[in-house]
Each structure stands twice: as C-alpha cells, then as structure tokens.
Structure 1
Amino acid sequence: MEEVLMQTRLGARDYAASVVAVPPIALNADLTVNADANAAIIRHIEAGGVRILLYGGNANLYHFGLDDYRAGMEAVIAAAAPGLITSIGPDFGKAMAQAPIARDLGFKNVMLLPTQFPADPAGVANGVRRLAAILGHGLVLYLKRENYVDPDELARLVSEGAVDFVKYAVERADPAQDAYLDAVIGAIGKDRMASGMGETPIHDHLGRRALTTYTSGAVCIAPSAAMELLTLYKAGRGAEALELSQPFLEFERVRTDLGGLQVLHDGMRLAGIADTGPLMPMISNLGAAKLGPVGAAVEALKAAEAACLRRSGKAAAAASA
C-alpha cells in the first residue's frame, strides 16, 4: 500500500504562496479511476512549484457516485503533497453523504460545490454550518452567483469557523465592476479569498483588488509559468503579468467556446502529461474536429512554460540531473 502523506489544514499563508490548481481526474475506458495517470498529473503540477490542488468542477465530481468519489479521492490523496482540497455536493444530500468519506480519508480542506437551484442565501448558510459540524472544520465556500450568501452572514460563518476560505467566481462582463465582490471583501477581507475563474479576471482581482491567489485549470499544463504570473502580480508588476498571461487567456477563451471541463480534460492528453481517458457522463469528450484549437492553445502554454523554465534555470538543472 502506498504511503499517504498527512494532509494539513491550509491557512492564509499557504494560499498566498501558491496558485490553486484545479485538475481533471483521469479515467480508464470503463470509467474507473486511473490512479497512475492521476499521479502523473499531480507530479507535473507539483514539479512547477504549485502546492495546492483542488479537485472539484474540472474533475467533474458533480457526476461521480459515492463509490467513484471515494476511489478518485483515494487515488489523489495517495499521490499528492499535503495541500489538497476535495469537493462535496453540490446538493445538500450528496454533500452530507460525501462529507464522512472526505473526513475519514484524511482531507482537512473541503470545498462545497455551488448549488444553482434550488437554494437561497439563508439556506446555504444553514447547510454550510451543518456540513462543517460533520467535518470538524470549516469549508471552502464557492461563490458562483450573485448574493449566494449574504456578505454579513458570510462574515459570521467565518467567525464561527464554518468557512475557512472563499473561491469567488461570479462572472462579470467587466470584472472591475463588481459590487458583490467588494461587499464580500469588506466583510471577510482579502486574505481568505481566491479569484475563482482562471486567468480571465485576475488582472483586476489580483492586480487591483489584491486577492490572495487564484484558481486555474491552465496551471495544470504550465505550472511554473502560472506561479511566475502570481509572483508578478504580487510584486505589482502588472504590465509584465498581463503579457505573460496571454497564452493563459487564450486557453480560457478556447474553454469558453468549446467547454471548460472538456478542453482541460482533453488538453492534458494533448499536452502529453497523461492520458485522461473519457469524461464521466453527463459530460462528453471533444470530437476530433474541435481538437485543433485546443492543441494550438496547449502548445502556446507549453511554450510559455518552457520559457519560464529557461528564465529560472530549471530547464538546465533538469537536463544535467
């Protein structure tokens, strides 16, 4: 049996020091979990300096049954460093069934996937409190729509220990115009918040509003470059960061056009990182006609990663090892 590294409860300093990678889960043709392929994905991400991996939407956990969920989380917890976040939900009943599995496997960081309907702010807060009681610690709360939780109530959840961190992903035509985000920041501060929509809004979310980190799918392909991007924004070097972000933004544009989960899942295979296999229904893999734009975006990310490694000297070190 593989040795499982003890997981640690992530704090503000941990989040501030790393991009949060949001990987897919690789499956075999029969839809069972491919432990070796998932380990390869994890090794690639961690080799780039990323220390936090979040398994949630990109992993398509929405469509995993309880047995599949346990198998997937067993595979990743056996292969990853101690900075793992699993996800439960999105509905309350499924979250209640998954919470003991996550707890018993040793996860110390658990995100509640967003419930779109039916849900209201007071009901979400009630559910969060009940789930935190089962887990024995606070959750990462995924804010995906306007007023998902009232900002003042969110502050109470944080003070009670029911919420540890927030992934903010309410989409705006102009990220700079976001009264709800400003209200949430006013209620709980910036140290407990990640920009949660990939690279698209981070010039504002990190560059202007100075949220502590961001979540990304493209980081799974170009982890060193993503970490450099985070470092540049934190250093106030926004113009350089915006230039470096261009291949990431293009990858996000392709994801918007063709499907966020599908492009990342199949993109990992096109990048040569791991054969991710099929997607768990009700999501489908991309057809051959759609793979061209994905491949081009992946190659641009790989070029950005290679350039980053050259700048840091890691490529030469790896070649001489």
Structure 2
Amino acid sequence: MSGTGGFQTTVADQPAAFIAGNRTSQNPIFSFDAGPGGLVAGSSLFVGRWAWVTQPLDANGAPTIANSFGDGPPNCFIQLEQQALNTTYLSNAGMQIAPGFQCSGQIAGDFAVVNDGTTEAVYGQKVFAYVASGKSAFAAAGTVFGGASATGSSIAASTFSVTGSVAGNVLTVTVVGSGTLYPGASISGTGIPTAPAPQIVSQLTGTAGGVGTYSLNQGEITAASETISGTYGTLTIGTATGTFAVGDVISGSGVVTGTQITANITGTGGTGGTMVVNNNTVVSSTTITASLAVETKFFARSSGLAGEVVKISSTTDAGAL
C-alpha cells in the first residue's frame, strides 16, 4: 500500500482474493464481437465495470465505441487484461482505459466486481448495472433501483413524417411533413429493416428535430429519397418526486419492459415535463418510476457487503451438474 508521494508504507500479509475485472474461474468466456476497428474506448470506460457500445460503426456496420454509461442493458463487461493505464501522476493504480485506445469486452463468463450497491450481495441474486457509471449492484430479479417517481404519469403515441433517404447508418431529411424527430424514435419506409426497426441515436447536422442528418443504431441500409415515418412515445410526467433524466429506464403499470427516456421535450424532468421514450405503447395515468440500474443476465456467485468484491457468472447455476 502506498502513502503520500507514492512510497510503500505497509505490506499486507494476505493478497486480495480478486481484483475487480479478474476472471474467477477457468470456464469459457465469450467476447463482444465488434468486428474490424472495434472496440475503442470512449470518454469514460473502466475495467471491472459494464459497458455500452454505440456509434460510430466499424467496417462491418457494427458499433465500436464503448463507455461505462449508456441506455438499457449493457452490451458487455470489461475484463481485467492489462487494458487500463495509470494516467494520474503518482496515483496508486489506474482502472480507466484511455479514450481512443483499443479494448475488448466480454458477454459471458465468470468475473469479479465490486458491490457498489447499498445492500449485501447474496448468492444467486441478479447483477444490476448502474446506467450512469457501469458499476454493479445486487438484488432479486425485477428489482427497481428507485430514482425519480411520479404519480399520474402517462405515455402517448407520437409520430412524424418526413421526406428523406438513408445511406449506411445516416438518415438525411430534406423535408419535414409533420412532427419532430427525436433520439429513440423508430423509423420505417421502403428498404428500411423492420425487425428490429432502426432507431435514431442522435442528430448530426441541421435544424433541431427537422431538416438535417441523423445517426441510426443500424448500418448498411440503402433507401432512396422517399416518405419515411417515425414513431416514439411521449412521456408526460405527473406529480414528481425527484428528477427524471435522459437515459433512465422506466417502469410502471402498462409500461413495456426496457422502455427508456431518450430525449427531453419540455421542462427539466420534473412535474408537468414531457420527455421522449423509445416505445410508443400507450399508458394511461399511472405511477412511473425511473430505475438507476438495469438488470443484467449475470448472477452473484458469492456474497459480499457493499464495497466488497463479489464473484459473478453468466450461468444460471454455476454449481449444478
């Protein structure tokens, strides 16, 4: 252990069982298949945490940028395999992968994580990923990690219609017939895939929500100039406790599992505000809660108090024969 100035001051008589990101068995692991050019670390990617993979696309049309924050379930786990750098002068260690560096992520296997939740991890519980940091928490399947909550909230189906074309993963809008384009909206038209339909990730150029270019979450699409339709949900926030934010996963009676807030329309995430969600299923007045963490497919394979290292596995029962 190091003290001021980086000089060693103590020696532990027992090594740590695991460090966050370690493999905890010799069972097979499975990597996120990014293709040529990926993965590349984004602005905030840490070893031992969950990662979300987004645009831009690699040569095969797959997303390439990995960050320890995102929307919905994470795409992979960042294993400890000498990917990080110690970029802070005289610091003890570094767990961040420098932006722009090549990296890899795992989608299955047995690993170690820090329990960054507020309660003890218990063998068999599901692992949840905090969407703002990629850190881990543990709870029973289906648990909502409460963020903001609002009674009397609703979701309405919203649409837009434009004249535009798609080349690769870029939608070019030349005329807006009706409505406004938002991140999270699904599009449809001749030559555009339907299962699943591409969604708008962000606007690249042009007038906000109107004429311009937009990045899509799918690539290798070719659609000549035509009428393109879009759908999304408009969340109207009722009487709120706390503040809803872009990236929140929401739940409530009638809300489709995995529905996420993808853009803000009016207000600041509080009472009476409106926000875009990526599902247009109509929901009548109900209590809607935002979750700070999303459920992964991994399970706890050891116990551990908050702050302790816990073994996790992608298998449903690591001990069964």
TM-score, L = length of structure 1: 0.27
Q: Work out which of the two has the higher radius of gyration on C-alpha atoms and give 1 or 2.
A: 2
Flag the structure with higher strand content.
Answer: 2
Q: Which has the higher helix share?
A: 1
